[in-house]
Structure 1
Amino acid sequence: MKNILLLSVLLFIFSCGNKKEVTQVAEISCGQCKFDLDSEDGCSLAVRLEDKAYFVDGFGIDDFGDAHDEKIGFCNVIRKGEITGKVVDGRFVASSLKLIDAEQK
């Protein structure tokens, strides 16, 4: 009986640690220029979720146009997007990203 209980608890703990991908609306911009991330050189795409920024794997900073464009570039504005993925080892691994707001912030 104790073994079954212990096994159940361990399975529960491991299932909670295996986070599935989620889709959410988030701020997307340059990690260095707009989110003050400094663990990479140069400009890189990042997402801010719940006041914490993460570099994005799966999409590049120029995938949605010139990152240095004054009106819509990620190095100059923070944009809103619907992003799907999960945080893995301190980075956001994205499987999809759709921009929904090109307004300046």
Structure 2
Amino acid sequence: MKKIFLLSIFMIAFACDNKKEIKQTAEISCGQCQFNLVGDGCDLAVRFNNKAYFVDGFGIDDFGDAHDKQTGFCEVIRFGEVKGYLKDDKFLASDIKLLK
């Protein structure tokens, strides 16, 4: 009986996910070029609540040429609706939709 109780506690703890999904409008750009994050080369980042995070799940060129003078993330900061989680000081994006 004790083993069943401990197994039940373990399963409940495992099933409870402490991650809180974030869905909000955020600034999107190159972390190094626009948000002054330290990294190796140009990488996609988001900034919300006055803090910038590198993005996992999407690349900097997934939305066009990152060095395009008018729309590229290395040249301008754009806005978008982002959805995902924070983990280890990175934003794990499940969805990014750019706003015009």
TM-score (norm: length of structure 2): 0.81
For 1:21 and 1:57, locate their aligned partners in 2 and report how far apart those are by CA, in whole Å: 15
For 2:34 and 2:22, locate their aligned partners in 1 and report how far apart those are by CA, in whole Å: 24
1:6-51 CA distance string (max 9 Å, x none): xxxxxxxxx7x8132121000000000000001x200000000101
Percent identical:
65
Structure 2: tracts of 5 or more residues without a match: 1-15
Structure 1: tracts of 5 or more residues without a match: 1-14
For 1:73 and 1:62, locate their aligned partners in 2 and report how far apart those are by CA, in whole Å: 9
For 2:81 and 2:30, locate their aligned partners in 1 and report how far apart those are by CA, in whole Å: 16
For 2:78, the aligned partner's letter is R
Segments of 4+ moved more than 3 angstroms? none
1:67-104 CA distance string (max 9 Å, x none): 00000000000000000001100000000000003xxx
For 2:56, the aligned partner's letter is D
For 1:95 and 1:25, locate their aligned partners in 2 and report how far apart those are by CA, in whole Å: 14
